[in-house]
Amino acid sequence: MGDFNVALVIVAAVVSVLVLLVSVYLLVNYQHPDDANQAWFPKLVVVLGITVAVLSILMLPADVANRQACKRAVYSGACALTLPMKTLWLVVYIIDAVLVFLVIPFAMFYYEGDQDKSVGKRLKSALIWVVASAVVCGLVLGILYALIGKVDFTVRHLSSSVQAFPNPNQFGAFTSGQPCIAPLTRQCSANTAPPNSQTTWTMRATFPEYVVALATIVGSVLFTIFGGVGIACLPLSLIFSFVRRPKAVITRSQYIKEATELGKKAKELKKAAEALHQEERSGNKGRKWRKNVKAVEKELLLLENDMNALEEMYPQGEKAEATWAFTVLAYIGKLIFGIVGLIVSIAWVAHIIIYLLVDPPLSSFLNEIFIKLDSVWGLLGTAAFAFFCFYLLIAVIAGEMMLGLKLVFITIHPMKWGGTLMNSFLFNVGLILLCSISVIQFCATAFAYYAQATAAQEIFGHTLQSLRGIKYLYKYNVFQYGFVALAILTLFYYALFGWRKRKPTGRFQLSS
C-alpha cells in the first residue's frame, strides 16, 4: 500500500513537469512574432494558466486512482496515507479563481493599454481596474456568503426500538424475510418511518468551497452555451470543411482575379481601422466604436481565412505539387478526426440523456465502459475518462469561436499557430480556466458511478448541489437540458447551412 502511494506521488510529479513543458511549447509555437522577446508577464500568466487548467482536468482521474489506493485496505487508517485530494482540489480551484478574476484581467488591461503611455501609467491603469473589480467581487462574495453561504442536506430521522436477547441462539432466527425482532410486523421501525420524519440539515459551507461553487456557476453558464454549441460544431465543422474543400488547383488568371478582390477588401478594412484609431485618439470610445471594432476584427479574420483558402487552391514555389499533396492529406485528416469527434459527441449527448436526464437512468453507459476498460488494463479506463473530459474543453473553445463569428457582440480571439497575440492567448486561457471547473463538475456528475467515493464527488456532487440558492439549478438539470438543446439546434443549423460555402459580404462599412 505504501509503495503504491509513493508511485502515485512520483507519477503526479512527473506529469506536472510534463504539463509545464507542454504549456511552454504551446506558448512558443502559438505566439505572434510581434510578441517575441517581450510581454514576459502575460507569457508567464499564460503558461501558469494552461498548466493549472490541464492539471485540473487530470486531477479527476488522479482522484479515482487515489481512491483505489486504499480500496482493498485491511486497516481503517489506510486512506489517511493517500494524497490529500480534497485539499488539492480547493488549492487548484482557488488558484483558478484568482487567475480568472484578478491576474488575467490585470495582464490583459496592461497588455492592451495605450502604447503611447509610459509603463508606470499602464501599470497604474491596469491596477486600478483590477482593484476595483476585486473590491466589487469581494463585497459580492462576502455578502452572499454571509446571507446564503449554507448547505441544506435533506435527511430522514430514523429510529427503532431495542430489545435484549435472552438467548444467544435467537440470532439465528433472523432471515431476509424476517429481519426484525417483532414477529408480527415483519418490518423494522426505521423502515416504516412516517413522511414527516424527513427534514433539512443545514450547515455552513467553508469559504473556499463557496468561492469554488460560485465560480462553477459562472463557468457552467458559459460551458452550457459554448460547450453545447461546440460539441456539435467541432466535429461537423471538420467534416463540412472536407466537403467544401478545393477539388483542384485553380488557374493563374482565376488566382489573380480572386487576389485582386481580396486586395480591395484589405484596403477597405485598412481605412476602417485607421478611422477607428483616430476615434480612439480623440477619446470617442463609446458603444458604437466598440461594435465597429468587433466588426472589423470579424472581417479581418474572414479575410485571412479567404487568403489561406486562396493559397491552398493555387500553391506556388518549387514544391507546389508537394504542397498540394499535403493540403489534400490535411483535409482527409480533418474528415477522419471529424468522424471520430462525431462519434464522441454522439456518445456524450446520449450519455447525458440516458444517465442524467432520465430518472431512473436507463443505463450507466460510459461509466460501465470505463470500468470494463480498467479491467483490461489499469490505466485504459482512466485514459478514456480523461480524453472525454478534454474533449469537452476543446468543444468549449470551438463553440466560442463559432459564436464569435456569427454574433458581433462576442469578441473574437482566434488561436493560430505562430500568429496569436497575447491578449487572445490570455482571453482563451481565462475561458479554459473558467470552464474547466464546470467541466470537472459536469464530469463528476455524468460519471458519478465511475468516480464514486472521490474527493471531487464530495465537493461537486454533494456540497455544490446542496448549496442554498443554486441547488435548484442542479436539482432540475438546467445546465444539462440547455447543453443538449443547444447541441441539437447546432446540429440542425449545420444540416441546413453547414454545407454551403460562405458568400462574399460585399463592401464593408462602419456603423454610423
pLDDT tens-digit series, residues 193-211: 666 667 777 777 777 777 7
SS3 181: coil
Q: Are 114 and 98 in contact (CB under 8 A)?
A: no
Pick the last residue of a domain from 289, 311, 333. Answer: 311
CB-based contacts of 41: which residues, under 8 Å, 6+ apart? 107, 110
Bridge partners, 467 (sequence order): 151
Whether 238 and 374 map to the same domain: the answer is yes
pLDDT tier for residue 344 given thresholds of 50, 70 and 90: very high
∠ CA 120-122-125 to the nearest 5 degrees? 110
| Mean of pLDDT values over 161-170 | 60
Do residues 88 and 38 share a domain? yes
Single residue among 260, 288, 311 that ends a domain in this structure: 311
* Range in 218-232, 354-368, 415-429 the model is least confident about: 415-429
Give the total residue count for the chain. 512
If asked whether residues 399 and 380 sit together in one domain, one would say: yes
Three-state SS at 474: helix
Tell me the whole-structure pTM to 2 decimals. 0.73
Counted domains in the chain: 2
Does the pLDDT of residue 473 top 60, yes or no? yes
Average pLDDT of the chain, as a whole number: 76
Looking at the fold, whether 300 and 407 belong to one and the same domain comes out as: no
Instruction: State whether 141 and 228 are in the same domain.
Output: yes
- Beta bridge partners, 202, equal 152
Look at the block and give the residue holding cell 486512506. 79
- CA 307 to CA 262: how far, in whole Å? 7
Residue 53 has a pLDDT of: 83
Domain hosting 259: range is 250-311
Coil, helix or strand for 266? helix
Model confidence pLDDT, tens digit, residues 283-318? 677 777 777 777 787 788 778 878 878 887 878 777
The average pLDDT across 263-292 equals 79
Cα 295 to chain center, whole Å?
26
Intra-chain end-to-end CA distance of the chain, in Å: 71
Looking at residue 407, its pLDDT comes to: 60
Question: Does residue 164 form part of some domain?
Answer: no
Q: Judge if 307 and 337 occupy the same domain.
A: no
- Per-residue confidence (pLDDT) for residue 151, from 0 to 100: 75
- Among 148-157, 180-189, 276-285, 355-364, the range scoring the smallest mean pLDDT is 180-189
Task: Measure the CA–CA gap between 127 and 496, rounded to whole angstroms.
Answer: 48
Q: Is the pLDDT of residue 509 over 70?
A: no
Q: What is the pLDDT of residue 504?
A: 55
476 occurs within a structural domain: yes
Contacts of residue 83, defined as CB under 8 A and 6 or more positions apart, other chains included, come to: 5, 8, 9, 12, 62, 66
Tens digit of pLDDT for each residue in 85-106? 777 877 887 888 788 878 888 8
For residue 299, give the nearest of 274, 270, 276, 278 by alpha carbon. Answer: 270
